[in-house]
Amino acid sequence: MRLIKTFLVLFVSILFSNLSFAKDLTVGLKSEPSSIDPHYHNLGPNNAFATHIFGTLVGSDENQQHYPDLATSWKPIDETTWEFKLRKGVKWHDGSDFTADDVMFTAQRAPNVPKSPSGFGTYLKGKTFIKIDSHTIHIKTKKPYPLMPNDIMTVKIISKKYGEGATTADYNSGKAAIGTGPYKFVKWVPGDRIELKANENYHGAGTGKPKYKNVLFKPIKSGPARIAALLAKDVDFIDNVPPLNVAKLKTNPTLSINSGASNRVIYLHMDQFRENSPHIKAIGGGKIKNPLMDVRVRKAISLAINRDAMVSKVMENIAVKAGQLLPKGFHGVSPNMKPDPYDPETAKKLMAEAGYEKGFEMTIHGPNDRYINDAKIAEALAQMFSRIGIKAKVETMPKAVYFKRASRGGPNKSPEFSFMVLGWGAGSGEASSPLRALLHTYDKSIGMGRANRGRHSDPSVDKIIQEALATVDSDARGKLLAKATEIAVGKNYGVIPVHYQMNTWAAKSTCSYTPRTDERTIATYLNCK
């Protein structure tokens, strides 16, 4: 009888498991995270992957709309105070209770991670967290701050129990990687695989319960290699399908292709704070005053970019040419700005007016494993710049190396490079995100300009950005953000937008993926029959 009971329990357990989860899932990723630590690097692949393990107070759906995650509600209770009610009954992966103490600890830890290439201070500086009770917190600011839910949406909540005294290495090993998300951390072998298993006690907000018992992420940097792995059924699902292959793959009946518009702008950052820029020389190799500090040169560079050719030839029409920080439809976009036309003749005149009629030499630095066709973009830019007298060579490298050097590889931890290919996805879903991160004067003390690697600075723009961040009225805030963009980008050329990415995912034909405007590849958004 005991044997029969044991068999029945085992049978029911297996049956329940089969009903609860689809079979295991293997995902081919172009870019693996640089860390499991959710606060180490504010980078797309890191933020996307962390969503599997860690929750946020405010969730973000495929269109970057808010939903209740670890907080069930939020509201301003006076001009400078927001109240967040926390979800009760939530368990950490070890079975312990999630409480306000974890939120308080997260707020202290997230902006202060040692050696972070680009941290989360932008979203947390100037905010005072107050614990009201075990499941209520207040967040106070000196001025009215309407974007509180947008900011809080970006920061993953970590366990105080496991986070106290923990280093980034402790998260990478799994020792501290205890979250509340739909999946539990199992193992990370950098460059080879990341293993997760379903959290059967997940609270289910937003994306619902995990659909797969085990998820294996395999970093496959090469686009053709990812496609080959999918066709060979070595993986079930891949992201970042190369634009060149999209049309052909759509004709394959064994595959499901899902494309969607992105909020990510591919842009150029230029050294605007050093007269002697390290990777710029006169023609022939002599010293030269940094020409990128002259707005006429920056405008000439923009006019030298053939954005139509970039979209059609380099991106295979899986992109949209850009004239500002976000595409049409997002909050704070200026109706008055359009992509600069391709006009090399005017560009040459501007170069001459600025005193660089003979041109100059420079190095274009960029990643080769972060954005769609990133290395090809840099090479195409170099060819375009040659037509206005800029002799450019290209140096690309893995993102794990690139971002560290771009942010703090120079003297006194200053940005190392002179001219950079970069991308920015607006985590907040509006123009305040790139404006304060990329174009506000770099000020670590207030968390502004944290990704301003060109160190562009305009006090008038700073003032407008700060006014917008304190403006409760949505329409009025949108106008201020548009005004700041018109000055910082359209007049100052503090950064030069090139194009907006479109993203494509591919899976076996029995599955479909819901594209996200934030480009994230998240297992819970893949639905299989």
Amino acid at 89: G
User: Which has the higher per-residue pLDDT, 15 or 334?
Assistant: 334
User: What integer is the mean pLDDT of 202-211?
Assistant: 81
In this prediction, residues 291-295 reach a mean pLDDT of 98
Give the max Cα distance, the chain.
95
Region 315-328 average pLDDT: 93
Query: Which numeric CATH code is attached to 262-502?
Result: 3.10.105.10
Q: What is the pTM of this model?
A: 0.77
Residues 6+ apart with CB under 8 A from 111: 39, 119, 120, 121, 124, 125, 447
Q: Which range among 204-208, 271-275, 523-527 shows the weakest confidence by mean pLDDT?
A: 204-208
pLDDT of residue 5: 38
DSSP class per residue in 359-423: -EEEEEEEESSSSTTHHHHHHHHHHHHHTTTEEEEEEEE-HHHHHHHHHH-SGGG----SEEEEE
pLDDT of residue 205: 75
For the chain, give the percent of residues with pLDDT over 90: 82
Confidence band for 65, pLDDT divided at 50, 70 and 90: confident
β-strand partners of 81: 78, 140
Q: Strands 66-68, 58-60: parallel, antiparallel or unpaired by DSSP?
A: antiparallel
Give per-residue pLDDT as tens, 125-157: 899 999 999 999 999 999 899 989 999 999 999
**Res 16: pLDDT:** 36
Which amino acid is it at 516? R
Confidence of residue 22 (pLDDT cuts 50, 70, 90): low
Cα–Cα distance measured from residue 334 to residue 389, given in angstroms and rounded to the nearest whole number = 32
Q: What is the pLDDT of residues 226-268, one digit of tens each?
A: 999 999 999 999 999 998 899 899 999 999 999 988 899 999 9
Domains of the chain, by residue range, sit at 21-219, 262-502
Q: b/e per residue, 423-462, with b = 16+ CB within 10 A?
A: bbbbbbbbbbbbbbbbbbbbeeeebbbbbbbbbbbbeebb
Radius of gyration of the chain (CA): 24
Average pLDDT over residues 485-504: 97
Computed over every residue of the chain, the mean pLDDT equals: 92
Residue positions counted in the chain: 529
- In CATH, what number does 21-219 get? 3.40.190.10
242 vs 206, more confident: 242
What is the Cα–Cα distance from 286 to 307, expressed in whole angstroms?
Answer: 31
Taking CA atoms, 528 is separated from 204, 259, 525, in Å, by 18, 17, 10
Highest mean pLDDT among 179-188, 205-214, 327-336, 446-455: 179-188
366-421 pLDDT, tens digit per residue, is 999 899 999 999 999 999 999 999 999 999 999 989 999 999 999 999 999 999 99
Long-range contacts of 310-314 (CB under 8 A, 24+ apart): 310/377, 310/380, 310/498, 310/499, 311/499, 313/380, 314/373, 314/376, 314/377, 314/380
Q: What is the 3-state secondary structure (H, E, C) of 73-114?
A: EEEEEECCEEEEEECCCCECCCCCECCHHHHHHHHHHHHHCC
Confidence of residue 209 (pLDDT cuts 50, 70, 90): confident
C-alpha distances in Å from residue 509, one per residue of 52, 252, 270, 502: 24, 9, 44, 21
Quick one: pLDDT at residue 13?
Answer: 38
Q: Which of 23, 24, 19 is nearest to 215 (CA)?
A: 24
Distance CA 88, CA 71 (A): 9
CA 101, CA 148: separation in Å to the nearest integer?
Answer: 19
Q: In terms of C-beta density within 10 A (0-12 exposed, 13-18 middle, 19 or more buried), how is residue 62 classed?
A: middle
Query: According to the model, what pLDDT value does residue 216 have?
Result: 98
Tokens of 472: 């409760």
Cα 267-270-274 angle, rounded to 5 deg: 165
Amino acid at position 28, single letter: G
Judged by average pLDDT, the poorest of 194-208, 258-272, 351-365, 433-447 is 194-208
* pLDDT value at residue 129: 98
* CA distances for 45 relative to 37, 42, 322, 408, 464, angstroms: 12, 9, 23, 20, 31
Amino acid at 26: T
Average of per-residue pLDDT across 444-453:
91
pLDDT at 11 over 60: no
CA dist 431 and 325 (Å) reads 7
Exposed/middle/buried for 75, CB within 10 Å: 0-12, 13-18, 19+?
exposed
15-19, 232-236, 268-272, 318-322: least confidently modelled range: 15-19
Tell whether the torsion through CA atoms of 138, 143, 144 and 150 is positive or negative: negative
